[in-house]
Amino acid sequence: MVASDVLKGGEFLIRESNAEATFIPEELNEEQLMVRQMAEDFLKNEIVPNRPKIEKQEPGLTPSLLQKAGELGLLGAHMPARYGGTELDTNTNTVIADTLGPCGSFSTSIAAHTGIGMLPILYFGTEEQKEKYLPRLISGELKAAYCLTEPGSGSDALNAKTRADLSDDGKHYLLSGQKMWITNAGFADLFIVFAKINGEQFTGFIVERDTPGITLGEEEDKLGIKGSSTRQVFFENAKIPAENVLGEIGKGHLIAFNALNIGRFKLGVMCIGGNKEVVNMATRYANERIQFGKPIGSFGAIQYKLAEMALRNFAAESAAYRTSQLMQDKKISAEAEGKTFGQATLEAAEEYAIECSILKVLGSEVTDYCVDENVQVHGGIGFSEEYAAARAYRDSRINRIYEGTNEINRMLMVDQLFKRALKGQLDIVGPAWAVQKELASMPSFEKTEGAYGEERKAIADFKKIILMTAGGAAKMQMDGKINLKEEQEILMNCADMLIDLYSAESLLLRVEKLSDMQKKQDQALYDAMLQVYFHDVNARMLKNATDAIASFTKGDLLKTFLMGLKRFAKYPPVNVKEKRRFIADAVLKANGWCF
């Protein structure tokens, strides 16, 4: 596939995708399956038996587990071979994140180390910095933490108060300030710290733990992920060598935000991996628990929950591996242009920042649904701390907060879309104008043709709904009638439509591809999942678009918009009750995740 065939970031809104170019988990090759098995063995042999000790933060345990992960190559799978990494492709790294998703608190520790702890050095470090730190981070000899958040700056990261002042001889910076909610702080050997030089220039620094002037707060008593170390970090005239400035002075925001892109993607993937274990947990209990003389899994109300848990996560997984392939294609293209491994990896994550935010929001919110319904399936036992359902419920809540809150990520994905359109990187105006012209013409009564014709038409119509809604809001802003920065509800509506579109299209592409790979009886299950998901997305699209449009227009113009919505939100009715029962039956027979 040539580079021009690869979708740009956000381009899924205006271009048609094809199943052939989409990667799905069913295509994992022998090497990827071996890596998955290795990660599964690590989870089974090292994490599960030690989970009670991890949750109690037994001294030295998590660092020793990180070192074991390093010995297996799990910490350097995304790193260049020249520093001791294994340079595995993007899809294989996605498999690792997916497989380690059920690790609970340890997932947070390893994700922080390999992601926001290591990537800033790979992306922006000098060659000397990379050679000094990356090999030891890859082996697990050093453990990393990322110090961005402060008491007065969370989502507003650039409002940081931590400052750095250059010494008179120009050899050191004196770093002073306070960071909070720092994952791995209790055992980290290396901190990526953001501070303002002279109180003005937001800049990144590599800070070693044994630097005088660094102290730690007590471990935070958190709602969930209790086994991950989370502390405040205080700097009081900590003497940082000038050569430990990371990237360019005053350009720390580039480090902070670009490191978060891949972090968001991996968080979404880990959520999806964790959800599979939650589906297993709920299904096993539904098969075992007898009430009124039969397993509770035989009741429609429970079957609805199991089917919905599996369906939502299957759609999210489809979107995750689709995004993984897009980033891999972009990375290969960048390397072919002469970019280094680190530069190519950075460009790929930056290109698909919108998709990374979508995956973060989608994965974390599917997790919230799954863990909540898992407790409900378990009933009173699910409310007891003696059972895993309660821990999964508590652990899930942080996912909607860190790596940028879901509200921030929603606004970011819409903001990025508009910015790329204004820069000419995405031609949204042309397709939006085409939708307006279509609304002025007579509706077409052509019937859809071929397998999945209704779904392909629905995707095209969903795109029109979003273009009509977002285009209308943008025009109102241009006319000075609204200020979208002050209309966050409209941005949330648009973001939710983008998430639904991307997940629905990803699911369709996967099911289409599976139709050439599966036996006919297996395909009926995937078709059922597709139809139920599209039925629900169609309803959500109509509601989100109506809510948004009714908030910025009225009268005859509103009526025109609403007529357009009814024209485009026409996915045919589905017997979702029977199809959900069909999905639940497959899950119950397999006694868990079976996709």
Instruction: Give the catalytic positions in this structure.
Output: 403
| Contacts of 453 by beta carbon, 8 Å cutoff, 6+ apart | none
In sequence order, what are the beta bridge partners of 153?
150
Tell me how far apart the terminal alpha carbons of the chain are, to the nearest angstrom.
28
Question: How far apart (Å, rounded) are the C-alpha atoms in residues 344 and 590?
Answer: 41
Alpha-carbon span 444 to 55, nearest angstrom: 60
Residue 18 three-state SS: coil
Torsion angle in degrees (nearest 10) through CA of 414, 420, 421, 423: 150
β-pairing, 190-197 vs 144-147, is parallel
Is residue 102 within 8 Å of residue 46, measured between CB atoms?
no
CB of 107 closer than 8 Å to CB of 62: no
C-alpha distances out from residue 539 to 90, 542, 573, Å: 34, 5, 10
- Residue found under tokens 């993937």: 269
Helices (H), 440-595: 453-478, 488-514, 520-550, 555-568, 576-590
CA dihedral 200, 205, 209, 213 (to 10 degrees): -30
> What is the C-alpha separation between 266 and 360, in angstroms, rounded?
8
Q: Which residues of 255-283 are buried (b: 16+ CB within 10 A; e: fewer)?
A: bbebbbbbbbbbbbbbbbbbbbbbbbbbb
H-helix segments, 189-299: 252-288
Name the DSSP class of 147: E
Helix, strand or coil, per DSSP, at residue 59: coil
Which amino acid type is present at position 305?
K
Measured CA to CA, the distance from residue 106 to residue 208 in angstroms comes to 23
Across 148-272, where does the E strand assignment appear?
163-166, 172-183, 190-197, 201-208, 214-216, 230-241, 245-246
Distance from C-alpha of 145 to C-alpha of 182, rounded to nearest angstrom: 7
Length of the chain: 595
Q: Which two tokens mark 160? A: 């940081």
Residue 173: beta bridge partners?
166, 240
Give 298's DSSP letter. G
Q: Which of 82, 93, 180 is nearest to 134 (CA)?
A: 82
The position carrying tokens 């139709």 is 515
Taking the CA atoms of 179, 182, 188 and 193 in sequence, report the sign of the dihedral they define: negative
